[in-house]
Amino acid sequence: ESQLNPNYNFENFLEGDSNRLARNAGLAVANKPGGTSFNPLLIFGGVGLGKTHLAHAIGIDIKDKYPEKTVLYISAEKFTQQYIDSVKKNNRNDFIHFYQIIDVLIIDDVQFLSGKTGTQDVFFHIFNHLHQNGKQVILTSDKAPVDMQDIEQRLLSRFKWGLSAELQSPDFETRVSILKNKLYRDGVEMPDDIIEYVAKHIKTNVRELEGAIISLIAQSSFNKKEITISLAKEIVEKFVKNTKREVSIDYIQKVVSDYFQMDVDTLQSKTRKRHIVQARQLAMFFAKKYTKASLASIGSQIGKRDHATVLHACKTVDNLSSTDKQFRKYVDDIAKKLAL
Ligand code: ADP
Ligand code: MG
């Protein structure tokens, strides 16, 4: 089971200036897995710009050309979970062995390994083994290796061995082709001026671009309305508003304290009671994640703590959410409330 999604193929991954380097590097790797200097191939870029899609496309193409090769796609999160389980069940060696006999290993969102030293360590050994044996490694990340935090130096230096290729936001023409291709595949017709209107206003994220078109189609069919520019305008405005809104640290504190049924003063207080400390750490974690505020500024706004406390909070939340199911649920629930 390679876990590849057949729709995420090269044909559907439209080329533009924003992705040409990454796309061509991907094609080169697919032609000669393990046989190019692009090993590892690391694809990086912001949310919704096609990292996962391109990673699958490479895997699918390799499977087509080299059916005998074992290709495995896995998210770094799932990889981490599997590793933790293997340690618990005392079969860490089986875990390592499983990964060492793969021909093409694709790990999505490696930034997730930040701060997870055990998983980084095991991945380091798997990586070395694969690389030495001419096997291909493909990674994606939301950041370039130079900007990654809390990843061990020896692993970062491996990431830099091959090629790091960035996916940027697509230009207008590419956005139009992506939309047209999607509509064509879904068998939906839409006037060019509407497609162009959407492509003109939603610029930074392909997932949102597709999302806007999907809600446009849905709105028009539910309400039996014709698809017009004014309907498109309505929908685009909703999308733009939802994504531009940056949550404030006050809002985060409010949401987290509501979630734990305490008030903001309690969350900020000096108490060492475990559930209050955890709530405070979660607020700090989300402030770091969802705002541009510095660690120092987050600390001063959440109960006058210093930047080291905030950093510690972020690490604690990271660790707990990969080891503690209940805690993980807190993180997911709060993330949902904040995302709206
Ligand atoms: P990421 O992993 O970077 O967050 P995804 O790979 O999940 O982004 O892409 C988000 C959506 O945008 C997917 O539906 C994907 O098919 C689509 N997409 C992104 N880039 C392209 C492209 N160049 N051509 C066609 N579809 C694209
Ligand atoms: Mg992705």
| 244 confidence band (pLDDT: 50, 70, 90) | low
Confidence class for position 146, pLDDT limits 50, 70, 90: confident
Judged against a pLDDT cut of 60, whether residue 45 lies above it is answered with: yes
- Which residue of 53, 184, 210, 213 sits with most ligand 1 atoms within 8 Å of its CB, as the best mutation to test the pocket? 53
Residue with CA at minimum distance from ligand 1 atom 1: 48
Ligand 1 nearest-atom number relative to CA 142? 3
Residue 272 contacts by C-beta under 8 Å, 6 or more apart in sequence?
none
Please, are residues 252 and 287 in contact by the beta-carbon 8 Å criterion?
yes
What pLDDT score was predicted for residue 67?
Answer: 97
Distance in Å, CA 20 to ligand 2 centroid: 18
Q: Report which of residues 292 and 144 the model is more confident about.
A: 144
Ligand 1 test: best mutation among 180, 206, 243, most atoms within 8 Å of CB?
Answer: 206
Do 20-167 and 249-339 show the same overall fold? Answer: no
Query: Which CATH superfamily includes the segment(s) 249-339?
Result: DnaA protein, C-terminal DNA-binding domain (1.10.1750.10)
pLDDT, position 220:
82
Kindly state if the Cβ of 267 falls inside 6 Å of ligand 1: no
- Here the ipTM equals 0.99
**Rounded mean pLDDT of 156-184?**
96
Mutate to test the pocket of ligand 1, among 207, 210, 213 (most ligand atoms within 8 A of CB): 207
Provide the pLDDT confidence category of residue 245 given band limits of 50, 70 and 90.
low
For domain 20-167, the CATH class is alpha beta
Q: What CA–CA distance (Å, rounded) separates 278 from 267? A: 9
Point out the ligand 1 atom lying closest to the alpha carbon of residue 16: 23
CA of 192 to the centre of ligand 1 (A): 21
Cα(142) to centroid of ligand 2, in Å? 9
Helix H segments across the chain? 20-31, 51-65, 76-88, 92-100, 117-132, 153-159, 172-186, 192-201, 206-222, 229-244, 249-259, 264-268, 274-290, 295-301, 307-323, 325-339
Is residue 77 predicted with pLDDT exceeding 90? yes
In which element (H, E) is residue 168 found? none
Q: In CATH, what is the architecture of 172-244?
A: Orthogonal Bundle (1.10)
Instruction: Output the DSSP codes for 284-298.
Output: HHHHHHHS---HHHH
What does the domain layout of the chain look like in residue ranges? Answer: 20-167, 172-244, 249-339
User: Quick check: 167 pLDDT over 80?
Assistant: yes
The average pLDDT across 67-82 equals: 97
* Residue 82: Cβ-neighbour burial (10 angstroms; 0-12, 13-18, 19+): middle
pLDDT in tens, 8-38: 999 999 999 999 999 999 999 999 999 999 9
178 Cα: distance to centroid of ligand 1 (angstroms): 9
Alpha carbon of 226 to ligand 1 centroid (Å): 28
